[in-house]
């Protein structure tokens, strides 16, 4: 069975600095998708970025980028120029052939002004 592990329950970063959130996963499949979702306090969870496993190029969305290491089964999220609005829970998720998302336990990101 697939698993997703986020080893950092909490991270903090100074405003305007760069932070990297870690995610590892376990699967025997070769074709799958990986995601980072953001859940701000008392607000809706939203998709931040998506990576398709067959694409070698790392996905980027403005200040958000990923480091996808397929062989190592690692999928980290880098947030550049951190802003106060980036404070949230960040969840890593995996989707394989059964079309259901497998979620990590989340990382709470604190932005220090």
Partner 1 sequence: EADIYQTPRYLVIGTGKKITLECSQTMGHDKMYWYQQDPGMELHLIHYSYGVNSTEKGDLSSESTVSRIRTEHFPLTLESARPSHTSQYLCASSPVEGRERTGELFFGEGSRLTVL
At closest approach, how far in Å is the CB of 49 from partner 1? 11
The 3-class secondary structure across the chain, one letter per residue, is CCEEECCCCEEEEECCCCEEECCEEECCCCCCEEEEEEECCCCCCEEEEEEECCCCCCCEECCEEEEEECCCCEEEEEECCCCHHHCEEEEEEEECCCCCEEECCCEEEEEEC
Beta carbons of 23 and 104 less than 8 angstroms apart: yes
The one segment of 13-21, 42-50, 56-64, 71-79 that binds partner 1 by CB under 8 A: 42-50
Please tell me whether residue 54 binds partner 1 under the rule CB under 8 A. no
Least distance in Å: CB of 20 to partner 1? 20
Residue 104 engages partner 1 in binding (rule: CB under 8 A): yes
**Shortest Å distance, C-beta 81 to partner 1:** 24
Smallest distance from the beta carbon of 26 to partner 1, in angstroms? 14
The residues binding partner 1 (CB under 8 A) are 4, 9, 33, 35, 37, 42-47, 50, 52, 91, 93, 95, 100-106
């Amino acid at each position: 069975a697939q698993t997703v592990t986020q080893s950092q329950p909490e991270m903090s970063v100074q405003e305007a600095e760069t932070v990297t959130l870690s995610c590892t996963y376990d699967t025997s499949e070769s074709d799958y998708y990986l995601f980072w979702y953001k859940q701000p306090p008392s607000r809706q969870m939203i998709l931040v970025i998506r990576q398709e496993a067959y694409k070698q190029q790392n996905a980027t969305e403005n200040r958000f980028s990923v480091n996808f290491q397929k062989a190592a089964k690692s999928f980290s999220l880098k947030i550049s120029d951190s802003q106060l609005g980036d404070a949230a829970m960040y969840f890593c998720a995996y989707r394989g052939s059964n079309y259901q998302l497998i979620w990590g336990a989340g990382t709470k990101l604190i932005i220090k002004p």
